């Protein structure tokens, strides 16, 4: 099968390689030269010819993700979208393509886990999602390095967050509800960010998504005078520095509580965020190469068939990502 991958950053290059290793004919498009085993095209993703692609995987930064998707949407493609653009794909004008969007760890896997709980419990009283990719140890500075586009991280910190309270969608300031948490034995901090996206359409009483950082990081950001480009440099990813990605999805329904925890520390030169995010994307693409997931339209990850969601979880576990499920 011929697959076109758009964007070859940390996550994009990982997904491209995994699809190539799976035996597909993979073409990577980027405006920056990338080292890849796939066929490489140094050209703009939106204007490139994707006529002969069986699947297109949009992994460009969020700032341009929606514009690229709009261009693709008129081409009759099957599209897996990982751009996490501020304007979500469900706002696309009608087109001829079929889109599966937000297929990362959170949003993405988190949505799928909530969907499984929705099927099991029906009523969702409270859903709390906490996620972060961080250095293994804090330091005396930012205690952070961006595992994906730093500009997308800044957007997380500045965009108002949508939450559900008393069954209604509300908007609160980004970085609201800052509080300490225990992240698998680590004392860290969590604050609200706009990660629910399509999950706000689920019938739940309360719901929120929190970004997790080492103590002091977000306070430093709130007081910084650095320009965005200076933050990009300050948050540069250091491949030699140990790091980890951690996700917790806690679902309460009546007197039942289910908690999913996901953790990865990277492997074989691939960062934990590239693996956790990229493996979800990879698993969704692979599922679509084997069966027709959707006939047309724009679909969030929680709309995937339950069997596919279980396959995504199995793929992460097979690749060494730790996933635990507990019921209280």
Residues 37 and 128 in one domain: no
Residues 90 and 129 in one domain: no
CATH classification at residue 151: 3.30.360.10
Residues 134 and 235 in one domain: yes
Mean pLDDT computed over every residue of the chain: 95
Residues 127 and 268 in one domain: yes
pLDDT on residue 226: 95
The answer to whether position 322 is within a domain reads no
Residues 46 and 131 in one domain: no
The answer to whether position 301 is within a domain reads no
Query: Could you tell me the pLDDT band of residue 328, with boundaries at 50, 70 and 90?
Result: confident
> pLDDT (tens digit, 9 = 90+) per residue, 90-123?
999 989 999 999 999 999 999 999 999 999 998 9
**Domain-ending residue, one of 231, 257, 272:** 272
pLDDT on residue 148: 78
CATH classification at residue 70: 3.40.50.720
The answer to whether position 289 is within a domain reads no
> pLDDT (tens digit, 9 = 90+) per residue, 251-298?
999 999 999 999 999 999 999 999 999 999 999 999 999 999 998 999
Residues 69 and 119 in one domain: no
**Domain-ending residue, one of 272, 297, 323:** 272
For the entire predicted model, the pTM comes to 0.95
Residues 196 and 267 in one domain: yes
Contact in structure between 230 and 146 (CB atoms under 8 Å): no
**Nearest-angstrom CA–CA distance, 296 and 278:** 24
The answer to whether position 166 is within a domain reads yes
Residues 149 and 186 in one domain: yes
Number of domains observed in the structure of the chain: 2
Contact in structure between 79 and 297 (CB atoms under 8 Å): no
Residues 196 and 85 in one domain: no
**Domain-ending residue, one of 42, 75, 101:** 101
The answer to whether position 149 is within a domain reads yes
Residues 54 and 121 in one domain: no
Residues 70 and 192 in one domain: no
> pLDDT (tens digit, 9 = 90+) per residue, 233-264?
999 999 999 999 999 999 999 999 999 999 99
Domain that holds residue 257: 109-272
Query: Could you tell me the pLDDT band of residue 221, with boundaries at 50, 70 and 90?
Result: very high
The answer to whether position 286 is within a domain reads no
Contacts of 48 (CB under 8 A, 6+ apart): 4, 6, 29, 41
The answer to whether position 89 is within a domain reads yes
pLDDT beyond 90 at 150: no
Residues 31 and 113 in one domain: no
The answer to whether position 8 is within a domain reads yes
């Amino acid at each position: 099968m011929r697959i076109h991958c758009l964007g070859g950053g940390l996550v994009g290059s990982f997904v491209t390689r995994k699809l190539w290793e799976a035996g597909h004919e993979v073409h990577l498009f980027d405006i920056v030269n990338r080292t890849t085993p796939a066929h490489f095209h140094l050209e703009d993703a939106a204007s490139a010819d994707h006529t002969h692609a069986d699947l297109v995987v949009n992994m460009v930064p969020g700032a341009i993700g929606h514009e690229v998707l709009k261009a693709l949407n008129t081409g009759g493609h099957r599209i897996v979208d990982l751009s996490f653009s501020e304007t979500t794909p469900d706002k696309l004008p009608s087109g001829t393509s079929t889109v599966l969007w937000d297929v990362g760890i959170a949003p993405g896997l988190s949505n799928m886990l909530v969907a499984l709980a929705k099927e099991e419990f029906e009523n969702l009283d409270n859903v709390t999602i906490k996620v972060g990719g961080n250095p293994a140890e804090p330091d005396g500075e930012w205690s952070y390095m961006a595992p994906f586009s730093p500009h997308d991280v800044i957007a997380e910190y500045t965009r108002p967050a949508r939450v559900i309270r008393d069954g209604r969608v509300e908007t609160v300031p980004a970085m609201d509800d800052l509080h300490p948490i225990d992240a698998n034995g680590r004392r860290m901090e969590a604050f609200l960010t706009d990660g629910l996206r399509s999950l706000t359409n689920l019938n739940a009483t309360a719901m929120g998504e929190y970004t997790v950082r080492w103590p002091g990081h977000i306070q430093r950001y709130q007081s910084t005078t650095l320009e965005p480009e200076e933050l990009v440099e300050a948050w540069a990813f250091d491949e030699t520095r140990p790091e980890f990605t951690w996700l917790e999805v806690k679902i309460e329904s009546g007197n039942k509580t289910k908690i999913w925890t996901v953790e990865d520390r990277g492997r074989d030169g691939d960062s934990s965020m590239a693996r956790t995010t990229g493996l979800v994307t990879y698993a969704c693409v692979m599922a679509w190469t084997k069966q027709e997931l959707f006939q047309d339209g724009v679909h969030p990850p929680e709309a995937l068939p339950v069997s596919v969601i279980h396959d995504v979880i199995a793929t992460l576990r097979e690749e060494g990502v730790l996933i635990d499920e507990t019921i209280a």
